Amino acid sequence: MFLIMKRQLLVNLREKSNIFWTLLFPLLLATLFHFTLGSLLGRNEMETLSVAYVSENAAETDSEAARSGTDDFFEYLENLNQTWLKVRTMTDGEARTALENDTIQGIFYGGSKKRLVIGENTVHTSILSQFLDIYEKNEALITRIAQEHPEHLSDALSALENYRSCTRTVTFGGKSMDYVQNYFFALIAMTCLYGSFMGMYNTVGVQANTSALGARLAAGCVKRYKSITASLLSAWLTSFLEVVLLLLYMDVILGDIHLSGQTGKILAVCAAATFYSSGLGMLIGTAGRWSESMKNAIVISISMACSFAADLMLSGVKGFIEKHAPLINRLNPGALTTDAFYSVLVYNDTEKYFRSLILLIIYSSLLFGAAVLFMRRMRYESL
């Protein structure tokens, strides 16, 4: 069986048309995507907001006073410090100069009359104004409680300090969440689906009524299950290695996707997707007495339809289907593959990842089982 598999792998590698469409074409398409869409990546990422804090008594040039004259409002802003928000203490003159030079997006003024100054009316205006609005509302609430129900003041302060216990933090696992990533993930899904070509050609090659090699195998002493298994494994291994090369090219050379230490999960879903496509190709290769060109057209039609529904040609198609007919996405291997990529490289959603992976494995097993039944039932009256 291993000798048959080795020979079939060599045949796969020598088929120039197969290698072009299953390996070189995706690499060329990835390069085209890089130069046409790569510049759009990162435009929707959250920018780091830099703001200045000016205390009430900070002198125009007294930088030390600006750093020492802080209050509760400054501590509130300090607690908001995240990777996307940076607060720096400045004098009024330093802050206005920095705002004019666009090195900061806003100025918070402390004291009894807190206010916010922003240079341009952008999305930062609403974000920063929300910080001030929340503080003023909480300050007014605490003042009212202290006046009307001072016995509950400590409870109110404790509730405000521990508000995070009532929320659940959800993080993103990847470096980008741009809609442009749809195209790159769908391209990988298409390459996985192109493994159907290998599965179909390998299956045709071991049938006595469609191939001279298949006739020799049927007339020889090789058992049918060995030729079937070797055919599937050689088709799957060739397709999987091609997808791995595409992943390395897009990650290391182009930098359009970032595996982010999730290589094992990505390879697992690619292995399942290429196993699905190999099983699909085998089933098409054994179905009916159609010509090889007819079976090839069926493989192309199915692969491109699934890729289109997975957002390869037009972003938003998969979302539209998910809204109106989600069952189609559960049956579409392209959508399952892109969902798995999103779950690993963008969102920390292990539930969707394992759902996609398990469905791909189940569908692969069903396709392979159906293809084996068709091949085992084949009988040849004369060789």
- The DSSP string of 247-266 is HHIIIIII-SS--TT-HHHH
pLDDT of residue 232: 78
pLDDT band per the 50, 70, 90 thresholds, residue 25: very high
pLDDT digits (tens, 9 = 90+) for 291-347: 778 888 999 999 999 999 999 988 889 989 999 999 999 999 999 999 999 999 888
pLDDT of residue 209: 55
What span, in angstroms and rounded, lies between the C-alpha atoms of 84 and 46? 7
What span, in angstroms and rounded, lies between the C-alpha atoms of 186 and 239? 16
Phi, psi dihedral angles at 72 (to 5 degrees): -60, -35
CB proximity list for 334: less than 8 A, separation 6 or greater: 186, 189, 190, 192, 193, 306, 307, 309, 310, 312
Q: Is the pLDDT of residue 61 over 50?
A: no
CB proximity list for 244: less than 8 A, separation 6 or greater: 267, 270
Q: Is the pLDDT of residue 71 over 80?
A: no
Pick from 186, 272, 286, 270: nearest CA to 231 = 286
What span, in angstroms and rounded, lies between the C-alpha atoms of 197 and 211? 16
pLDDT of residue 327: 95
The 8-class DSSP code of residue 280 comes to H
The fraction of the chain above a pLDDT of 90, given in percent, is 32
Query: pTM of this prediction?
Result: 0.68
Of 12-26, 205-219, 220-234, least confident by mean pLDDT is: 205-219
What's the mean per-residue pLDDT of the chain?
A: 80
Question: Are 161 and 176 within 8 A, CB to CB?
Answer: no
Of 296 and 190, more confident: 190
**CB count in 10 Å sphere of residue 146:** 13
Altogether, the residues listed in the chain come to a count of 383
What span, in angstroms and rounded, lies between the C-alpha atoms of 194 and 161? 55
What span, in angstroms and rounded, lies between the C-alpha atoms of 240 and 221? 30
pLDDT of residue 75: 78
Could you tell me whether strands 49-54 and 85-89 are parallel, antiparallel, or unpaired per DSSP bridges?
A: parallel
Q: Is the pLDDT of residue 220 over 80?
A: no
pLDDT of residue 66: 47
118's enclosing H/E stretch is: none
pLDDT digits (tens, 9 = 90+) for 233-285: 888 999 999 999 999 999 999 988 888 788 999 999 999 999 999 999 989 98
Question: Are 274 and 233 within 8 A, CB to CB?
Answer: no
What span, in angstroms and rounded, lies between the C-alpha atoms of 181 and 58? 47
pLDDT digits (tens, 9 = 90+) for 345-365: 888 778 999 999 999 999 999
